[in-house]
Structure 1
Amino acid sequence: MEKVHILLVEDEPFLAKVIKDSLEQRNFQVTYAEDGAKGYNLFQNGAFALCIVDVMLPHTDGFTLVKQIRVYDDQVPVLFLTAKTATEDVIEGYNSGGNDYLKKPFSLEELFLRVNELLKRTTVMNNADQNKLMIGNYTFLPHQQLLQIELLGIKLSHREASLLLLLYNNRNSLLERKSALMTLWGDDSFYNTRTMDVFITKLRKHLSRDAQVEILNIRGVGYKLIC
C-alpha cells in the first residue's frame, strides 16, 4: 500500500526530527523543510496528502506559506503548529487556509489524532455526493468548497465547507455543539467553541441572500440549519 505523504515545515530541528521520526514509525512518508520558502518549493514539486506547518518560520511565515499553497491547491488539509494562542491568531490561521490548529507544547498522541482526523475528514469530503446539494436557493458543492446563488459564486474555506456539510447533513434538526466541535476540532474547549461561533457567523453571512435559510442558535445546546 502506498504511504500517505506528509509535508512537514518546522524550523526547530529537534522538534522536526521527533515529529518526522514518529510519523515515519506510523508508516507515513514525511518530507521536511526548515523554512517557508523551501516548504513552498517542495510543495510545488511534490504530491502531498497533508501539510503540517509551523506558524513562526524564517523567510516565509506559516500563514503566508499556506496562502501560497491555497493558490496552488485548495484541497490539501493543513495542520498549523504554533505557540500563538490568541483567538485572533487562530482565526488568521483558518482564514489563511488552515484546517486545524495544534498549540505547542503538544503530545505526539494528540498530533497523531489530529493528523488522522484531518485525513479521515478529507476523505469524507472527497467522497461526499458531488451532485448539487440544495440549501434553499443556494447550490452547495462540498468538494469544490463552493456556494452558488443566481450568478454569484462564494468560495468557502475548507473549515467553512466542512461545517456547512455537517449542518446540511443534520438540516432541520439539531446539530449538537459538542458533536460538531469533536468532529471538526477534536475537542470541545471554550477556546474552540468561540472559534466555531465565528465560522457560524460567516456562514450566516454567506447564506443571507435567501431569507428562507437560517442557522438558528439553540442556546447552550447547538445549531439548526433551516432550509
Structure 2
Amino acid sequence: MTQNKITALLAEDEETLAQIIKESLETRNFKVLHCHNGQEAMDTFYKVKPDVLILDVMMPIKDGYSVALEIRKTNKHIPIIFLTAKSQTQDVIEGFKSGGNDYLKKPFSMEELIVRIHALLNREEIASEDTIFAIGQYNFSRTKQELVFQNTIQKLTNRESELLHCLYQNKNRIIERSIILNLLWGNEDFFTTRSMDVFITKLRKKLDQDGSIEIINIRNQGYKLLCP
C-alpha cells in the first residue's frame, strides 16, 4: 500500500468541498472515487473494494451512518472516516457505533484528513507485516519500535515511534502542530505541547548520525522532517 496508489471512496454531496478533497488527495498519491449520495457509495464500494471510505454524514438517499452499518455487515476491517458539521457528543458516539473508525468535524484541514487516513491504513498494515521505512541512512521499524543505523540499534518508546512515523508520513512537508497533538495525545493543551517538544528533541538526538536528516520547527505552524 505504501508503493501503490491508495483508493479512497469519497461520499460527499457538497460539490465544492468534494472537489477540494478529491484534488488534494490526488496530489498525495490517492485514487479518489467521488460519490454524490449514500446509495451511489454503496454500489461503488461493492464494485471497487477501496482501501478507505470517507463518508459525509448528511447525504441524500442514504446517510453516512446507514452506509457504514450496511458495509460493516460484510466488511469489518476497511477504515471508515466520517465528515460532518455536527459536533454534539451523541453524534460522535453514533458515528463510532455505526462502524466508523474516525470522525472529522467540518471545517477541517486537508493535512489532518491525510494524516488520519494514513494512521488508519497503517494500523491495518502493521498487524500483518513489519514495514521498514528508510529515513536517510536509518531503517525505522514501527512494529519493533527500533531505529537502526549501520549495526547500531536504538530502541524507541511507543510515543517516539508513533511521532516519528507521523513525521515520516509527511516528510519534507509541514505537519501542523495541532494535528500531531490531537492525533497522538488527544488534545493540544500546554502540557501536551511541552511534552511533544521533549519528544521532538529526543528524536533529533537519535537521528543525529545522519547529517541529511533534520526535524525543523516552523514557527506558529508545526514541524517538518527533512530527509532524502
- Would you say same fold, with TM above 0.5? yes
SS at match of 1:58: coil
How many Å separate the matches in 2 of 1:109 and 1:184? 13
| CA distance 1:12–1:123, shift in 2 (3 Å) | same
Query: Offset at 1:185?
Result: 4.9
Query: Offset at 1:49?
Result: 0.8
Q: What's the RMSD between the two structures over aligned residues? A: 2.4
- Residue 214 of structure 1 corresponds to which residue in structure 2? none
How many Å separate the matches in 2 of 1:186 and 1:7? 25
- Unmatched segments (≥5 aa) in structure 2: 131-157, 163-179, 189-228
- Residue 110 of structure 2 corresponds to which residue in structure 1? 108
- Residue 189 of structure 1 corresponds to which residue in structure 2? 187
Provide, for residues 163-187 of structure 1, a one-character-per-residue CA deviation record: whole Å limited to 9, x for no partner: xxxxxxxxxxxx99xx9xx799555
- Equivalent residue pairs, number: 140
How many Å separate the matches in 2 of 1:40 and 1:186? 32
Query: Offset at 1:126?
Result: 3.9
- Residue 20 of structure 1 corresponds to which residue in structure 2? 22
Provide, for residues 38-90 of structure 1, a one-character-per-residue CA deviation record: whole Å limited to 9, x for no partner: 00000011121101000011100000000011112111000110111111111
* TM-score under structure 1 length normalisation: 0.57
How many Å separate the matches in 2 of 1:187 and 1:31? 32
- Residue 32 of structure 1 corresponds to which residue in structure 2? 34
Conserved 8 A contact 2:181-2:187? no
Alignment of 1:88-167 (within 5 A): 88-127=90-129
- Residue 73 of structure 1 corresponds to which residue in structure 2? 75
- Residue 44 of structure 1 corresponds to which residue in structure 2? 46
SS at match of 1:53: strand
- Unmatched segments (≥5 aa) in structure 1: 129-174, 191-227
Residue 48 of structure 2 aligns to which amino acid in structure 1?
G
- Residue 3 of structure 1 corresponds to which residue in structure 2? 5
Provide, for residues 16-51 of structure 1, a one-character-per-residue CA deviation record: whole Å limited to 9, x for no partner: 000001100111111110100000000011121101
SS at match of 2:8: strand
Provide, for residues 103-134 of structure 1, a one-character-per-residue CA deviation record: whole Å limited to 9, x for no partner: 10001111111111111112123449xxxxxx
Query: Offset at 1:4?
Result: 1.1
How many Å separate the matches in 1 of 2:126 and 2:181? 12
Identity percentage of aligned residues: 42
SS at match of 1:72: coil
Residue 57 of structure 2 aligns to which amino acid in structure 1?
V
* TM-score under structure 2 length normalisation: 0.57
Conserved 8 A contact 1:66-1:96? yes
